[in-house]
Amino acid sequence: MSIEALKLIPQDESFDETTFDQEFTKKNKLQDHPEVVQALKTILKLINPVRVHGAGDHEITTLFRDTVFKNRNSIGTSHLDQLAEAGLSDTTGTLTGQGITVVKAFAAPYKGVEGELAY
């Protein structure tokens, strides 16, 4: 199964993903970085939002960096470049303070991932 086939599961059945994406982009001033939301979705599918909920900053940074390192080709360098340009991570996939806050906020409305990734 590919990453695209994985599905983030919302906490609430009335959750509107399109509206959330638009509001999230506007709130975090990411209009100049259109691929950031897609990059975050892809990485969050690999990490699993459950692992982000209640995790400390160091743990989130480590999960994110390890996931980016292991799946760099699947995620796509253009997505990773957008994260770095937006100031959310460096070019190696290490989150900045702002990046940690954004990942926590992006993971909040999701309770898990549907599907499994076959390596």
pLDDT digits (tens, 9 = 90+) for 73-106: 888 888 888 999 999 998 888 999 999 999 999 9
4-23 pLDDT, tens digit each: 778 999 999 899 999 999 99
Residue 4 included in any domain = no
Taking CA atoms, 83 is separated from 11, 32, 54, in Å, by 25, 11, 23
The closest of 117, 103, 93 to 49, measured between CA atoms, is 103
How many domains is the chain partitioned into structurally?
1
Contact 33, 86 (CB under 8 A): yes
Contact 83/30 with Cβ under 8 angstroms?
A: no
Provide the β-strand partners of residue 96.
none
Confidence (pTM): 0.88
Instruction: Give the structural domain span for 65.
Output: 16-113
In a domain, residue 86? The reply is: yes
